[in-house]
Amino acid sequence: MSFEWPWQYNFPPFFTLQPNVDTRQKQLAAWCSLVLSYCRHHKLYTVDVMEAQESPVFNNKKIERKLSVEAIQVVFEELRKKGNLEWLDKNKSRCLVMWRRPEEWGKLIYQWVSKNGMNNSVFTLYELSNGDDTDGEEFHGLEDWMLQRSLQALQTEGKAEIISMDDGKGVKFF
């Protein structure tokens, strides 16, 4: 299924940071949701800022408009404030995009566990993200760092416990 661009994507003013405060709020909201849905669609978890400039998200070749570096930073800052983005380095050159927050992933995983009656079982992390059983689930292929955070979220909620095993980590669901 190909990615569906929102109407703003073809609206030239979308690529100019609006000076009017109210207009800007709406514009940034639209950008945030575009970035998140794009990353979700392509299962992207990390973004490099330099590469992002040339990516189709920020660069619409058809209308010959692209978002400036400063504006991209503003959009990223907005995402960070919402909890959907985390900087990997101090220079703000690479970041993690969490189009689904860890809590949300945790919930999905727990739902699957409960649905299949696997409470009180132990899984390795690998089994969860790459096992045959989970094939077809949304969290299949979830990157390790995200998986760990999701499980930590569940642990905080008391629904799981992360344990150390011989060759790595595992998790027990309650």
Partner 1 sequence: MDRFSWSNGLLEINETLVIQQRGVRLYDGDDKAKLDVGVALLSTHRLIWRDGKNHDCCMAMPLSQIIFFEEQAAGIGKSAKIVIHLHPSPANKEPGPYQNSKYSFIKLSFKEHGQIEFYRRLTEEITQKRWENTPVSQPISTGTGPQTGRTRAVGIVGIERKIEEKRKETDKNISEAFEDLSKLMVKAKEMVELSRSIASKIKDKQGDITEDETIRFKSYLLSMGIANPVTRETHGSGTHYHIQLAKQLGDMLQAPLEERGGMMALTEVYCLVNRARGMELLSPEDLLNACKMFESLKLPLRLRVFDSGVMVVQLQSHSEEEMIASALDNVTEKGSLTAEEFAKLLGLSVLLSKERLLLAEKMGHLCRDDSVEGLRFYPNSF
**Measured distance CA(122)–CA(84) in Å, rounded:** 29
Question: Which residue spans within 71-167 are E strands per DSSP?
Answer: 85-87, 94-97, 122-124, 160-165
> Which of 18, 37 has the CB closer to partner 1?
18
Q: With beta carbons less than 8 A apart as the criterion, state whether 23 and 66 touch.
A: no
CB of residue 59 to partner 1, shortest distance in Å: 12
| Per-residue mark of binding to partner 1, 55-94 (x: CB under 8 A) | ---------xx-----------------------------
Nearer to partner 1 (CB atom), residue 68 or residue 156: 68
Q: Which is nearer to partner 1, 30 or 96 (CB)?
A: 30
Q: 46 has which bridge partners? A: 96
DSSP conformation class of 107: H
The residues, ordered by sequence, that sit 6+ positions from 16 with a Cβ below 8 Å of its Cβ are 71
Q: How far is the CB of 19 from partner 1 (least distance, A)?
A: 7
Using the contact rule CB under 8 A, the part of the chain among 22-30, 34-42, 77-85, 100-108 near partner 1 is 22-30
Q: Dihedral (C-alpha) 150, 36, 131, 111: value to the nearest 10 degrees? A: 50
Q: Which is nearer to partner 1, 19 or 136 (CB)?
A: 19
- Taking residues 107 to 126 in sequence order and writing x for each that binds partner 1 by CB under 8 A, - otherwise, the string is --------------------
| Antiparallel, parallel or unpaired: β 168-173 and 122-124 | antiparallel
Site residues for partner 1 per CB under 8 A = 7-8, 11-13, 15-16, 18-20, 22-23, 26-27, 30, 64-65
